[in-house]
Structure 1
Amino acid sequence: MTTWEQIAAAKRAQTLSQIPKGWVEPNLIQNMNKDGYVSACGYLDTVLPEHEVSITNLTATELAGKIASREMTSYDVCYAFCHRAALAHQILNCCIEIFFEQALEKARELDSYFAATGKLLGPLHGVPFSLKDQVNLIGLETTIGYISRVGQKSDKMSLLAKVLQDQGAVFFLKTTVPTAMLASETVSSLHGRTLNAINIAFSSGGSSGGEGSLIGAKASPLGVGTDIGGSIRIPAAFQGLYGLRPSHGRIPYMDVTNSYEGQELIPSVIGPLSSSLKDLELFTKLVVDSETWNYDPQVVPVPWRDSSEVTKRKLRIGLMTWDGLVMPHPPVLRALRETCHALTSRGHEIVKWSFPDNEKLVDVGEKVYGADFYAEVEQILEKTGEPISDYMNIARNVSRGKGHSGNALDVNQWWEVSQEIRHLKQKFLKYWKNTENVTSDGKPIDAILCPVWPSAGFHDGKVDFGCENYTVPFNVLDYSCVVFPVTQVNVEIDSVESGHLPSLPDDQKMHGYYEAQDFDKIPVCLQVVCKRLEEEKVLAIASVIESCLAATT
């Protein structure tokens, strides 16, 4: 009888076998260590051909422009990213499905089409595009971290994938996820651990950790992840990227594989990650303009709205320095100060934001995520005997510590949770409107500025440092969020700050975890948050923040 370990080993070998033999480097990690690199991204720049590095340093928007102007071919662009991704995977373990040959053939077809017609297929013509494993492509597996799903090939394509492909995107791989996508790191018995592209001693984040790691290594210019508790924003932040968590119903989720597919109280959403804010807007506008509400009944029929006026006036920003539960580390607090200074020096207004029920938002989110006390996960794991993850065991123990009975919620309890969420949404919206009483012009704030995570990241395998306090509330509220890079940890100036005396256990644990030298040069990102279905506005405000930060450096 085949064991789960044998199935997993065979799957990892099968993934590696899809890399051309000339690109397999058995001593790649050892050579990287010998040369003194901790950044896979930085190391790949030194070992790849110079002309390929020049291609992979471009954003998706730039690549689309160069292909359209015939400065580059789709094939050459695809080849460069396939080569880089092949090496990135051997360092970071970030890919689960690799299909370079099909991608290169598709790129050839696009070049031939452009040469023959003089027309582009769409705004993404010839741009390589990576996909989180959840996204279905015909003939490929979608395992979502489960060994029992190995060998089950999809007979359908997710609607979003079809939209992107019709607009010229070239898919070339799918990326790793934790088991069932229920973790803020990316590890499973199926593929192992996915490492951080900026520092391989750190976690890539999760659950879209494969996407974050791949894009952080510049081995993909643009990709999609999903987010039910921070799964786009956390990997984006840990790798110094941009990421959009859209509201439910703005980007089609139709035929995307998921855990707990019938759970819609806090729905999972799908959105882009990239090294460029413009890429996020390119993706979002393209998808919205495709009017997928004609195919997916969950998509709201809201056309793309021009939010350029936001970039031409004074913004009113609510600043949440901390949530009253877990104080962020010094580099995160510095990033908040620097961003506020950049905004106020250009005439924008910052007011204090301190919603009194942050803890309730976090707790009710945990009630939803653990509503069946991981029964579905355990049932699927039992098919092959693979073990439940350390992360989920910790989550179960935390739930018990907060009074969870260890049993699935019954229908009456589920209704109570639904009612609690509705009341919290109403209270949050009222609190937002009441900011008109503290702004200088009597108008409510435009957005909230806050951390993504209390630290700049956490070391790989430190599963007890999960802290989704700054992401989960906005999943409960279903608000639009953009993550953006601000700075990096600087051991010279990010010493431990005095004055804050942690009292809560999670706060004490996070406070004690910080040593500046351990985090040196790790990216620091923040998030800006707008209300539900305000994707255009939050992207526009992020662009204002980005320009203000650039003007102060």
Structure 2
Amino acid sequence: MGNWQEKVAQKKRTTFEKIPKAWVQDQILTDFRDRPYSQVSTYLDEVLPESENEITKLTACQIATKVARRELTSSDVCYAFCHRAALAHQILNCCVEIFFESALERAKELDRILEQTGEVVGPLHGVPISLKDQVNLPGIETTIGYVSYIGEKSQKKSLLAKALEEKGAIFYVKTAVPTAMLASETVSNVHGITLNAVNIEFSSGGSSGGEGALIGARGSPLGVGTDIGGSIRIPAAFQGLYGLRPSNGRIPYMDVTNSYAGQEIIQSVIGPLSASLEDLQLFTKTVVDSHTWDEDPKVVPIPWRDQSSLRQRKLRIGLMLWDKLVMPHPPVIRALKETCQSLLKEGHEIVEWDFPLQKELLETADQVYGADFYQEVEETLKLSGEPILEYMNLARKSCLNGRADPQPLSIAESWELVKKKNFFREQFFKKWNASAALTQEGEPIDAIICPVWPSAAFGANEVKFGVENYTVPFNMLDCASVVLPVTYVDKAIDLPDATYQPANELDAMQFGYYSAEKFDKMPICIQVVCRRLEEEKVLTVASIIQDACRSFEEHTNN
């Protein structure tokens, strides 16, 4: 065993030893596989005490309310989620840092404060929040999937962590990421692969795959992820969760560890994932109300703007069924059409939407992501001697984008990419404004609904079927986007279209990948998109859409 492998083995032992011995179940994965169902949350409900299940089925909003009313203690809530996270990790391999002891001490402190003062410290008092590995906490490692970073403990606390903690949040785990966070799969030499909480035969997505898996197993009520190409939205969609990709500058990124930290053509953003849409709003409003722009100069000083008035009028929604490059699988198309039916029944308006520059935009994004042709990654891997993983080779090949000479881009070439990005944004919002000519009232659309991913997910270790056509554009355009679960794959009705003629090679590959039997019962999410810095609006629109879908479903079932 080489030096890097020894470091990894020691790291895994150290992490595992943070789990109380009473919670270690050596045969848990075998036992889980022997059960007649695939969802990890269902299995954990069966093996954990009902008193803990009653807690872990609560949303973050419900937890905060019950703790404030003293119907639950922060300590009981923290214990229940620590226990469940410990078991979830032993099945899914979703946590890289575990610090239950300090979390339970924090919970006791919050209980003492509430007992002594009669007041909560903030709207998140007693709410356990999981953190993607990038978020720094003093004294805890941030490896971001690199073996060479093992043993290096953070000296700083990320500003977002500070803001959440000041409002009462309890941190207890940090979750797994792929090496350098540069994949829609979550796998690294440091921790291995993270599995999907709905069906472990599938990928958890990436790069916030640890968050998606843990929340999908209800081992966390609310988590923090980052997104530079879909890294919040993809894991949320693969596990049937809610996720918010905020615009750059709305949620503080200060002191969050990142790859390519100086790359600002397409910037990484940080935001929440949860099993509840209301939790996304609780998180975002709490952070915005913290006025982090006083410390982080990159945060835009926009106070929270209530958008409840949207509920008093008809919405104008642009529908993009597909981008003319990769046709989504049948259940994704069905989910979008059923959503439109639901909205139309409630009196809202649907108009068709597309963006003619989609292909050029995606090609430009590939050049941005591969601007140094993975030089930083390779240099960091060499520090430990760990090998490059296959998904990185695939990504590197994609970033070549027809270039014969795999060299980092020059300064002039980088500047040209900035010009292209600005051009795409200008054209996109010009088209958005022009949508006024399509609507009945002569006003532009409020939002777009479109796929998150062409399929329900892709299989574990099948990252070659990763297609980020529906997430990357909104990183380039910096739009506020919400992932919204709406249905599940039904093998009886989501049959492949035998008459479909693929538009290109990539489309043919994705078309051939579909199997109604394979994807049966996997969740299907849609994406709701608003303009830049319209987080409040996109959350409200998503809520209106959710209500319409639920009303339509109830009417149909009755």
Q: Give the C-alpha shift of residue 267 in structure 1.
A: 0.6
Structure 1 window deviating more from structure 2 (353-362 vs 524-533): it is 353-362
Q: Distance in 2 between matches of 1:402 and 1:282?
A: 45
Question: Hey, what does 2:328 align to over in structure 1?
Answer: 328
Q: Give the C-alpha shift of residue 401 in structure 1.
A: 5.0
Question: Hey, what does 1:17 align to over in structure 2?
Answer: 17
Equivalent residues of 1:331, 1:524 under 8 A apart? yes
Q: Distance in 2 between matches of 1:228 and 1:396?
A: 16
Counterparts in 2 of 1:195-274, with a 5 A limit?
A: 195-274=195-274
Equivalent residues of 1:131, 1:171 under 8 A apart? yes
Q: Give the C-alpha shift of residue 40 in structure 1.
A: 1.1
Equivalent residues of 1:238, 1:457 under 8 A apart? yes
Q: Deviations over 1:232-282 (max 9, x none)?
A: 000000000000000000000000000000011111000000000000000
Please state if 1:279 is matched with 2:279. Answer: yes
Q: Give the C-alpha shift of residue 318 in structure 1.
A: 0.4
Question: Hey, what does 1:360 align to over in structure 2?
Answer: 360
Equivalent residues of 2:366, 2:401 under 8 A apart? no
Question: Hey, what does 2:433 align to over in structure 1?
Answer: 433
Change beyond 3 A, Cα 1:404–1:47? farther
Counterparts in 2 of 1:68-107, with a 5 A limit?
A: 68-107=68-107
Q: Distance in 2 between matches of 1:243 and 1:369?
A: 22
Q: Distance in 2 between matches of 1:203 and 1:405?
A: 33
Structure 2 counterpart of 1:536, one-letter code: E
Q: Distance in 2 between matches of 1:69 and 1:308?
A: 26
Counterparts in 2 of 1:374-523, with a 5 A limit?
A: 374-400=374-400, 402-403=402-403, 405-523=405-523
Structure 2 counterpart of 1:531, one-letter code: R
Q: Give the C-alpha shift of residue 42 in structure 1.
A: 1.2
Equivalent residues of 2:366, 2:398 under 8 A apart? no
Q: Deviations over 1:270-299 (max 9, x none)?
A: 000000000000000010011111000000
Equivalent residues of 1:456, 1:519 under 8 A apart? yes
Question: Hey, what does 2:136 align to over in structure 1?
Answer: 136
Counterparts in 2 of 1:111-190, with a 5 A limit?
A: 111-190=111-190
Q: Give the C-alpha shift of residue 404 in structure 1.
A: 5.5
Q: Distance in 2 between matches of 1:400 and 1:130?
A: 36
Q: Secondary structure at the match of 2:448?
A: strand
Q: Distance in 2 between matches of 1:503 and 1:491?
A: 25
Q: Distance in 1 between matches of 2:346 and 2:275?
A: 25
Q: Distance in 2 between matches of 1:440 and 1:482?
A: 26
Q: Give the C-alpha shift of residue 2 in structure 1.
A: 5.7
Structure 2 counterpart of 1:355, one-letter code: F
Question: Hey, what does 1:62 align to over in structure 2?
Answer: 62
Q: Distance in 1 between matches of 2:357 and 2:47?
A: 51
Q: Deviations over 1:300-339 (max 9, x none)?
A: 0111111111122100000000001000000000000110
Q: Distance in 2 between matches of 1:387 and 1:361?
A: 32
Equivalent residues of 1:60, 1:127 under 8 A apart? yes
Equivalent residues of 1:253, 1:269 under 8 A apart? yes
Give the TM-score normalised by structure 1. Answer: 0.99
Equivalent residues of 2:326, 2:503 under 8 A apart? no
Q: Secondary structure at the match of 1:460?
A: coil
Q: Distance in 2 between matches of 1:327 and 1:398?
A: 19
Q: Give the C-alpha shift of residue 34 in structure 1.
A: 1.4
Q: In structure 1, list runs of 5 or more residues that go unmatched.
A: none
Question: Hey, what does 2:556 align to over in structure 1?
Answer: none
Q: Distance in 1 between matches of 2:241 and 2:18?
A: 27
Q: Deviations over 1:127-175 (max 9, x none)?
A: 1110000000000000000000000001110000000000000000000
Q: Secondary structure at the match of 2:384?
A: coil
Equivalent residues of 2:233, 2:243 under 8 A apart? yes
Please state if 1:372 is matched with 2:364. Answer: no
Q: Distance in 1 between matches of 2:162 and 2:396?
A: 38
Percent identity of the aligned residues? 61
Structure 1 counterpart of 2:87, one-letter code: L
Q: Secondary structure at the match of 1:356?
A: coil
Report the count of equivalent residues: 553
Q: Secondary structure at the match of 1:129?
A: strand
Question: Hey, what does 1:536 align to over in structure 2?
Answer: 536
Counterparts in 2 of 1:290-329, with a 5 A limit?
A: 290-329=290-329
Structure 2 counterpart of 1:425, one-letter code: R
Q: Give the C-alpha shift of residue 88 in structure 1.
A: 0.1
Structure 1 window deviating more from structure 2 (86-95 vs 25-34): it is 25-34
Equivalent residues of 1:390, 1:463 under 8 A apart? no
Q: Give the C-alpha shift of residue 413 in structure 1.
A: 0.5
Structure 2 counterpart of 1:179, one-letter code: T
Q: Deviations over 1:337-390 (max 9, x none)?
A: 110000001000000001101111111111110000000000000011111121
Structure 2 counterpart of 1:34, one-letter code: D
Structure 1 counterpart of 2:32, one-letter code: M
Structure 2 counterpart of 1:547, one-letter code: D
Question: Hey, what does 2:8 align to over in structure 1?
Answer: 8
Q: Secondary structure at the match of 1:383?
A: helix
Q: Deviations over 1:195-217 (max 9, x none)?
A: 00000000000000000000000
Equivalent residues of 2:94, 2:211 under 8 A apart? yes
Q: Distance in 2 between matches of 1:410 and 1:177?
A: 29
Q: In structure 2, list runs of 5 or more residues that go unmatched.
A: 554-558
Question: Hey, what does 2:337 align to over in structure 1?
Answer: 337
Q: Distance in 1 between matches of 2:404 and 2:65?
A: 54
Counterparts in 2 of 1:34-53, with a 5 A limit?
A: 34-53=34-53
Q: Distance in 2 between matches of 1:116 and 1:425?
A: 53
* Runs (4+) off by over 3 Å: none
